[in-house]
């Protein structure tokens, strides 16, 4: 078992690029992770990494061993999942990721409840608005809100969610309410954009009489945290494009107002994506079922008392499973 643990540490170091990140992920200290790599190198009689001050890069032997080691760990995981399915007692660890705002509102608060129901399942949650490579980083389930295009992953649709353009009454009083999207195109208003390396959120897709169209907008500043954009909008700093369920409390309180309702953003899909091989893992299926029901319930509860400007037919819709 110690040898298998050493292999697991080695694989995570390769995938995450350094000992500290691998140690945090596996809940061991960098010193323990380093010792396990040394034991593995001693056993194999080769050097597995070229060490720099910032990163560990696998050697040629390390890359070869990684391919086989990954297959071994995947085979063990599949065997454990098969045994769990027969025993009816799910156990093990699930690595989950979600965007910051979505994760805080819907996912994080449900993890303790899920653990109460299934105490032998550990959940390790990572919240980030950056586009996480779930295959490279060993993620079991990623909750995403947007257009899901990665065909290498399986997808389970949860809800179709309305989006709105909103700004504070203070901002609209100072700058005037835009009559149409041309005022945004002509940079007469400040658009608060979610931007970060690798992001596709450099534009907004709005519904027009000619169908959905992409528009590139600019603003005085942007952020890689969606909740920061909401705070800026509340502070009168500009216009933001948000899922309605996230800003519905502020709309009811009058702290934000929906604008350009004739050309609203296109809805986005709330979905869970996961590697194909995880389909047979009972604990992953349990988490998906639990979180899907929870997200549907919480979003619909948030939208139940809608602000006066909301059309009656724009409630979140449950999509068909993909």
The domain spanning residue 142 has which CATH number?
A: 3.40.190.10
Let me know whether 262 and 114 are in one domain. Answer: no
What is the pLDDT at residue 90?
A: 76
Which tokens sit at 176?
């005037």
Number of domains composing the chain: 3
Let me know whether 116 and 172 are in one domain. Answer: no
Task: For residue 320, tell me if it sits in a domain.
Answer: no
Let me know whether 186 and 256 are in one domain. Answer: yes
Which tokens sit at 189?
């208003």
Alpha carbon distance 23, 35 (integer Å): 11
Top-confidence residue, 228 or 78 = 228
Per DSSP, 119 falls in state T
H or E segment to which residue 161 belongs: strand 153-161
Let me know whether 172 and 219 are in one domain. Answer: yes
Mean local confidence (pLDDT), 44-71:
84
Let me know whether 193 and 258 are in one domain. Answer: yes
Last residue of a domain, one of 55, 72, 87: 87
**How many Cα atoms within 13 Å fall on the side-chain side of residue 164?**
24
Alpha carbon distance 322, 308 (integer Å): 34
What is the pLDDT at residue 224?
A: 80
Task: For residue 130, tell me if it sits in a domain.
Answer: yes
Residue pair 248/123 in contact (Cβ under 8 Å)? The answer is no
Give residue 41's domain range: 2-87
Nearest to 178 by CA among 168, 188, 170: 188
Ranges of H-type helices in the chain: 2-16, 19-26, 30-44, 60-87, 100-102, 111-117, 169-175, 182-185, 226-234, 244-253, 282-304
Let me know whether 63 and 202 are in one domain. Answer: no
Task: For residue 313, tell me if it sits in a domain.
Answer: no
Task: For residue 261, tell me if it sits in a domain.
Answer: yes
Residue pair 268/161 in contact (Cβ under 8 Å)? The answer is yes
Per DSSP, the three-state class of 115 is: helix
Let me know whether 20 and 34 are in one domain. Answer: yes
Alpha carbon distance 293, 277 (integer Å): 23
- Taking only the tens place, the pLDDT of each residue in 63-83 is 888 888 888 877 777 776 666
Let me know whether 169 and 24 are in one domain. Answer: no
Last residue of a domain, one of 87, 103, 132: 87
Nearest to 296 by CA among 162, 163, 161: 161
Let me know whether 149 and 273 are in one domain. Answer: yes
Residue 259 binned pLDDT confidence (cut-offs 50, 70, 90): very high
Task: For residue 249, tell me if it sits in a domain.
Answer: yes
Q: CATH no. for residue 205?
A: 3.40.190.290
* DSSP per-residue string spanning 263-290: SPBPPEEEEEEEEGGGGG-HHHHHHHHH
* 312 has a pLDDT exceeding 60: no
What is the pLDDT at residue 6?
A: 87
* 187 has a pLDDT exceeding 60: yes
Task: For residue 321, tell me if it sits in a domain.
Answer: no
Q: CATH no. for residue 16?
A: 1.10.10.10
Task: For residue 117, tell me if it sits in a domain.
Answer: yes
pTM for the model: 0.69
Alpha carbon distance 55, 16 (integer Å): 9
- Taking only the tens place, the pLDDT of each residue in 241-252 is 999 999 999 999
Residue pair 110/290 in contact (Cβ under 8 Å)? The answer is yes
Alpha carbon distance 285, 272 (integer Å): 11
Number of other CB atoms surrounding residue 301 within 10 Å? 10
29 CA to centre of own chain? 26
Residue pair 36/6 in contact (Cβ under 8 Å)? The answer is yes
Let me know whether 174 and 250 are in one domain. Answer: yes
Let me know whether 100 and 225 are in one domain. Answer: no
What is the pLDDT at residue 322?
A: 43
Let me know whether 154 and 167 are in one domain. Answer: no
Using the Cα atoms of residue 234, residue 310, residue 157 and residue 84 in order, give the sign of their dihedral. Answer: positive
């Amino acid at each position: 078992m110690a040898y298998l643990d050493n292999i697991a540490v080695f694989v995570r170091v390769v995938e995450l690029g350094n000992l500290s990140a691998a140690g945090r992920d596996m809940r061991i200290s960098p010193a323990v992770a380093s010792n396990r790599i040394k034991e593995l190198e001693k056993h194999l009689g080769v050097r597995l990494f070229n060490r720099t001050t910032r990163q560990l890069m696998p050697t040629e032997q390390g890359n070869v061993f990684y391919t086989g080691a990954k297959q071994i760990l995947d085979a063990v995981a599949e065997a454990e999942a098969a045994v769990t399915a027969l025993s009816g007692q799910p156990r093990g660890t699930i690595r989950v990721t979600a965007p910051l705002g979505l994760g805080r509102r819907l996912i994080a608060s449900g993890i303790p409840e899920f653990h109460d129901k299934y105490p032998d399942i550990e959940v390790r949650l990572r919240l980030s608005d950056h586009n996480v490579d779930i295959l490279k980083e060993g993620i079991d389930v990623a909750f995403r809100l947007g257009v899901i295009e990665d065909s290498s992953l399986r997808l389970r649709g949860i809800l179709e969610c309305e989006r709105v353009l909103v700004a504070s009454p203070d901002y609209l009083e100072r700058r005037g309410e835009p009559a149409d999207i041309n005022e945004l195109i002509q940079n007469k208003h400040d658009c608060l954009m979610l931007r970060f390396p690798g992001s596709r959120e450099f534009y907004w897709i709005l519904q027009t009489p000619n169908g959905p169209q992409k528009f590139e907008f600019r603003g005085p500043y942007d952020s890689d945290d969606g909740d920061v954009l909401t705070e800026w909008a509340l502070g009168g700093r500009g216009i933001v494009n948000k899922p309605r369920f996230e800003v519905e409390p502020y709309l009811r309180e009058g702290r934000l107002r929906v604008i350009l309702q004739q050309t609203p953003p296109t809805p986005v899909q709330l979905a869970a994506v996961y590697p194909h091989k995880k389909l047979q893992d009972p604990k992953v299926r349990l988490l998906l079922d639990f979180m899907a029901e929870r997200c549907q319930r919480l979003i619909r509860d948030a939208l139940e008392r809608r602000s006066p400007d909301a059309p009656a037919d724009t409630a979140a819709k449950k999509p068909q499973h993909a």
